[in-house]
Structure 1
Amino acid sequence: MPLTGWGAPGRAILPICVLALGPLGAVIRFTRTETLEVLAADYVRTARAKGLPSRQVLGRHVLRNALLPALTLAGPLLAHLLTGSFFVETIFNIPGVGAAFVYAAADRDYPLIMAGALLAGGLVVVLNLLVDMAYGLLDPRMRVTHIG
Structure 2
Amino acid sequence: MVRSCMIDALGKEFVVTARAKGVAEWRIVMTHALPNAFLPIITLFGLGFGHTLGGSVVIESIFNWPGLGRLMVESVLTRDLPIIQASIFFFAMIFITLNLIVDILYTWFDPRISL
* Structure-1-length-normalised TM-score: 0.66
Gap regions ≥5 residues in structure 1: 1-28
CA apart distance, 1:94: 2.0
**Contact 1:76/1:127, CA 8 A, preserved across alignment:** no
Q: How many aligned residue pairs are there?
A: 115
Compute the RMSD of aligned alpha carbons. 2.0
**Equivalent residue for 1:122?**
93
CA apart distance, 1:62: 1.0
**Equivalent residue for 1:34?**
5
Deviations 1:60-107 (A, max 9, x none): 111100111221232232122123212212223322222211221222
User: What secondary structure is seen at the aligned counterpart in 2 of 1:140?
Assistant: coil
User: What secondary structure is seen at the aligned counterpart in 1 of 2:112?
Assistant: helix
CA apart distance, 1:143: 4.7
**Contact 1:44/1:61, CA 8 A, preserved across alignment:** yes
The residue type paired with residue 48 of structure 2 is L
**Do residues 83 (structure 1) and 54 (structure 2) align?**
yes
Structure 1 residue aligned with 2:42, among 39, 54, 71?
A: 71
**Contact 1:89/1:95, CA 8 A, preserved across alignment:** yes
Deviations 1:127-147 (A, max 9, x none): 111111112211122356xxx
Identity %: 38
